[in-house]
Amino acid sequence: MILASLCYSALQVSGLTTLARRLSSGGVILCYHNVVASTDSDPADKLGLHMPLPTFERQMRWLAGAYEVVPLKELVDRSSRGASLRGAAAVTFDDAYGGVFDHAWPLLRALGIPATAFVVADAPGRDEGFWWDDPDVLRAYSPTQRQRWLTAFRGDGRRIVDALAAARRPWPPPRWRRPAAWHPIAEAARSGLDLGVHSATHRSLPALEERDLQCEVVQSREVIQSRTGVTPEFFAYPYGLWNDRVRRAVRAAGYRAAFTLEDGHHTATADRWALPRVNVPAGIEDAAFQAWTAGLNLRRWVRRDPDPPLESFEIARPQAPVARERA
Ligand SMILES: [Zn+2]
């Protein structure tokens, strides 16, 4: 960890991060989850999903100066036309947490930065949090458990949490750690936040039968449309997991593009139904953030751990049992 931190600082100080940014011909799509007040941030945020607002603000101010931050649809349109993506960046949020609407979107509006939030259609307005934030889940976490949760349990939060303990205490998460309600989502959409679909229930799509897959891909969008008046054009795969059948279902449903959590830059030749995004963990230091955004992620160059680190809980890895299949 300390070594990585030193390496990123050295890359920054030597000017290599800036050089990589200037040489990159691809666009970059950043993926965040939640943004929270600094007083609500948890140093033990194992999965790195809840970024303190001051960190997010620093990153956004830097991004706005270093990149042309465009709406996601503009980046996809340029790619479809074969136009240059050099220096272009887009900002996205997965899961539509309450903190995105309380903290991130007001800041982005003030800075004039466009963004897209991918909504889990069954989640808004729920009192319960997402299963991966449940303290019992975090206590039980191990790489083996993670694989089991995403395959045998198909990423189904209710089944995962029910299987953990027979006599559980109810877990009332604080508001900022819950999915946002429909009202702030619809209001943000009216003020310019783009909405995308992140399934209906956030199950692992490759593990689902056809009927459930259709519900996650098609009905989810109808729900978001009826609650917000917006017809989303883009889809983000839950846990970044997809295969060719899932990709075909998303394409057939009429989405214009879909997004993974596989690290990488976006080029004109990229598969439009599996576009990579850079997942930004909450605790990332500025030098590492700038390097990752420029395409310099040291984790890609060193030994690929068969067990993903905690903060990449949502990231599909080639070793995952539900491996992606390309057409
Ligand atoms: Zn998600």
Confidence of residue 55 (pLDDT cuts 50, 70, 90): very high
CA of 269 to the centre of ligand 1 (A): 26
CA 282, 285, 286, 290 torsion-angle sign: negative
* First vs last C-alpha separation in the chain: 37
The H-or-E segment that residue 8 falls in is helix 2-13
- How far is residue 323's CA from residue 321's CA, in Å, rounded to a whole number? 5
The pLDDT of residue 284 is above 60: yes
Q: What is the pLDDT of residue 325?
A: 33
Which of the two residues, 111 and 323, has the higher pLDDT score? 111
pTM of structure: 0.88
Confidence of residue 302 (pLDDT cuts 50, 70, 90): low
The pLDDT of residue 306 is above 50: no
The pLDDT of residue 151 is above 80: yes
The pLDDT of residue 300 is above 70: no
What is the tens place of the pLDDT at every residue in 198-241? 999 999 999 999 999 999 999 999 999 999 999 999 999 999 99
Backbone angles phi, psi at 212, to 5 degrees: -70, -35
The pLDDT of residue 299 is above 80: no
Q: What is the pLDDT of residue 269?
A: 61
Q: What is the pLDDT of residue 319?
A: 28
CA of 210 to the centre of ligand 1 (A): 21
CA of 305 to the centre of ligand 1 (A): 22
Q: What is the pLDDT of residue 258?
A: 97
Q: What is the pLDDT of residue 35?
A: 97
Confidence of residue 169 (pLDDT cuts 50, 70, 90): low
Q: What is the pLDDT of residue 1?
A: 64
CA of 81 to the centre of ligand 1 (A): 29
Tokens standing for residue 42: 């948890």
Q: What is the mean pLDDT of residues 103-132?
A: 95
H-state helical runs in the chain: 2-13, 16-23, 53-66, 72-81, 98-99, 105-111, 135-140, 143-150, 157-164, 182-190, 210-214, 220-228, 244-252, 286-293
Exposure pattern of 127-151 as b/e (b: 16+ CB <10 Å)?
ebbbbbbbeebeebbeeeebbebbb
CA of 22 to the centre of ligand 1 (A): 31
Which of the two residues, 94 and 296, has the higher pLDDT score? 94
CA of 118 to the centre of ligand 1 (A): 8
Q: How many residues does the chain have?
A: 327
The H-or-E segment that residue 44 falls in is none
Q: What is the mean pLDDT of residues 145-165?
A: 87
All residues at 6 or more sequence positions from 2 whose CB lies less than 8 Å from its CB, including other chains: none
Q: What is the pLDDT of residue 211?
A: 96
Which of the two residues, 94 and 126, has the higher pLDDT score? 94
CA 106, 112, 114, 115 torsion-angle sign: negative
DSSP 325: -
> Tokens 């809980």 — which residue?
313
CA of 155 to the centre of ligand 1 (A): 11
Which of the two residues, 304 and 185, has the higher pLDDT score? 185
- How far is residue 151's CA from residue 133's CA, in Å, rounded to a whole number? 19
Query: What is the Cβ-side half-sphere exposure of residue 310, based on CA atoms within 13 angstroms?
Result: 16
Q: What is the pLDDT of residue 318?
A: 30
Confidence of residue 311 (pLDDT cuts 50, 70, 90): very low
Share of the chain above pLDDT 90, in %: 57
DSSP 27: B
Q: What is the pLDDT of residue 301?
A: 58
Backbone angles phi, psi at 165, to 5 degrees: -150, 135
CA of 15 to the centre of ligand 1 (A): 34
CA of 193 to the centre of ligand 1 (A): 18
- How far is residue 106's CA from residue 191's CA, in Å, rounded to a whole number? 10
CA of 19 to the centre of ligand 1 (A): 32
Give the gyration radius of the chain's Cα atoms: 19
Confidence of residue 167 (pLDDT cuts 50, 70, 90): low
CA of 13 to the centre of ligand 1 (A): 34
The pLDDT of residue 108 is above 80: yes
Complete domains list, the chain, with CATH: 2-9+26-56+67-312 (3.20.20.370)
The H-or-E segment that residue 196 falls in is strand 194-197
